[in-house]
Structure 1
């Protein structure tokens, strides 16, 4: 369960040190079992009352924007860890748990000089968060693009025989290709296999008898070869379609097969690299966003 913190602002009448001592004494006297931390905020250049009121409205918008960006990064981390089989890790800020950073908070004078106007500090934080948000969108889009390409390939590998890639199912020895002969690949509904075997030789005139071979079957279709004369191929396609058989366009090419294999391997490597890079970036960026939320 996440720890909840209350940040309380009290008016200082004599000194901040005296007020802190009185607060500790009051908590102890009433036996509240509640840890108390001093949240040290330096004196900032507030400006006029009008500028402070205007800034108050801007802070509400900036705070909502920062929280939204923080949630997006945290959700992305959870998704990436789940996809990678990584146990959920404790998020950190500057290398320490968020609770420790919060309870030992120290204002970063180097990044946010107290001499700068308060509006300038707020605007600077907003610009930094906006850049992180833009970077997140770009990185996620790049990662999702590779994932989409891989998913498209996987669908072709696992879809029905009517749409899937046939390169892993058709071997060189299954294909006859010469000056006069060609082998076509037919997708036949499983319930029509007897019909195919009984009629393919007579669909057109120049089909090689007993040339059809069953290569593969799935839940819906069976994959058959048929060899015939080149000049009769277009006519055979038409006749086959009329009988409910689909002739798939396929040309076996060892170089193309190797190229597809290399493309798949590269996409898989790119996906893992982008996933790792995005996860590491999210860890780092969450730490930066958490600082802005606290500040």
Structure 2
């Protein structure tokens, strides 16, 4: 289940409170199940018309970037939670669920002074999000490097007997190493085991009778030991190969075994530590990116409203969450409120809810912000959903 949020700006002729009251009344009357919230955008520094026009192009590009980082961070969280087998947590901004943060948005004056030029605010947001993206790349690369090391070890320990590491299958008592004797490890095709047992003693001279013992079997092969005189080992390898048996080079060392075990334990601990720290970092960073994105959306609504409705700033910004079955009714309500103002300017960048064959909707519609049921962030922009 998802919640769909529309950020909408309506032109105001007399007072924002009267437009708000009318909107509440009409939504309650025609689409009572649609939540409606004020989108509290402060009076930002307008600057010149040229600067707004220039900024408008930058806003489109920056929006895609910021939203992309948000989605990338969210996907990383999903992956880490899945691998860690931890219960998914509702994502938050400073401890507040993201949907509540959106519907109760408050501008952070300390972080983004309203007297700063709009471009300066946008650049600051872009820089902060870019830094988070860079940090994410570094942290994910570090985690994936350790993960790859462990995967390589696991592949060696779980693959076919013909290629896998045999050290964890062989015990000290399985191996005889002396000045004259040596124990070899033979990889025998699963369906050739009878042939091996019947022939290994005669593959060369000086093979210890009844010395072969099966240590392990997988879907394709069986692992056998065989003890023989050291001086005939090469002849035995050659004869075995001719019969379709593979002799694996193996040298048992208890010290090497212990070192290998400790190395695996260290890599496992490193992976768990990096995964845990990366997940916690992603939780925090997602909140920071989402907060930055909401401030960016506020700037975008403000800038586009000035361009469409003119100066001085006179518009009502709000957030709605219509269900799919209520969208037409909500659009009709917004159409009526826009028509009553006689100001039919519209932001045409988003085709699904902005343009019709008969004309344009009289409102600025910023973005369609979809959230998963657990509040896991924006999903799909309106201009990627389709046309009305």
- TM-score normalized by the length of structure 1: 0.92
Following superposition, the deviation at residue 41 of structure 1 comes to 1.7
**Which SS does the other structure have where 1:168 is aligned?**
coil
Instruction: Please give the alpha-carbon distance, in whole angstroms, between the structure 2 residues aligned to 1:214 and 1:292.
Output: 63
State how 1:90-169 maps to structure 2 within 5 Å.
90-169=90-169
Instruction: Please give the alpha-carbon distance, in whole angstroms, between the structure 1 residues aligned to 2:22 and 2:192.
Output: 89
**Which SS does the other structure have where 1:3 is aligned?**
strand
Selected match of 1:28 from 9, 18, 25: 25
Are residues 4 and 190 of structure 1, via their aligned partners in 2, closer, same or farther at CA, if it must alter by over 3 Å? closer
Aligned position for 2:5: 5
Aligned position for 1:54: 54
Aligned position for 1:273: 273
Q: Deviations over 1:177-217 (max 9, x none)?
A: 11121111110112222222222222222322222222222
Instruction: Please give the alpha-carbon distance, in whole angstroms, between the structure 2 residues aligned to 1:191 and 1:106.
Output: 72
**Higher fraction of strand:** 2
The answer as to whether partners of 1:24 and 1:36 remain within 8 angstroms in 2 is no
Are residues 72 and 26 of structure 1, via their aligned partners in 2, closer, same or farther at CA, if it must alter by over 3 Å? closer
Following superposition, the deviation at residue 244 of structure 1 comes to 0.9
Instruction: Please give the alpha-carbon distance, in whole angstroms, between the structure 2 residues aligned to 1:78 and 1:35.
Output: 28
State how 1:233-244 maps to structure 2 within 5 Å.
233-244=233-244
What's the C-alpha RMSD, in Å, of the aligned pairs? 1.8
Instruction: Please give the alpha-carbon distance, in whole angstroms, between the structure 2 residues aligned to 1:23 and 1:209.
Output: 96
Instruction: Please give the alpha-carbon distance, in whole angstroms, between the structure 1 residues aligned to 2:94 and 2:173.
Output: 62
Following superposition, the deviation at residue 12 of structure 1 comes to 4.2
Following superposition, the deviation at residue 37 of structure 1 comes to 2.3
Greater shift, 171-180 or 79-88, is seen at 79-88
Q: Deviations over 1:110-144 (max 9, x none)?
A: 11112221111111111111111111122122222
Following superposition, the deviation at residue 93 of structure 1 comes to 0.9
2:189 matches 1:189: yes
Aligned position for 1:228: 228
Following superposition, the deviation at residue 26 of structure 1 comes to 4.7
Q: Deviations over 1:253-291 (max 9, x none)?
A: 111111111111112211211111111111101101111
In the alignment of these two chains, the number of paired residues is 292
Q: Deviations over 1:232-270 (max 9, x none)?
A: 222221221121111111111111111111111112211
Q: Choose between structure 1 and 2 for higher RCO, CA contacts under 8 A separated by at least 6 residues.
A: 2
**Which SS does the other structure have where 1:247 is aligned?**
strand
Instruction: Please give the alpha-carbon distance, in whole angstroms, between the structure 2 residues aligned to 1:75 and 1:216.
Output: 41
Aligned position for 2:248: 248
Following superposition, the deviation at residue 84 of structure 1 comes to 2.0
Instruction: Please give the alpha-carbon distance, in whole angstroms, between the structure 1 residues aligned to 2:70 and 2:163.
Output: 42
The answer as to whether partners of 2:74 and 2:286 remain within 8 angstroms in 1 is yes
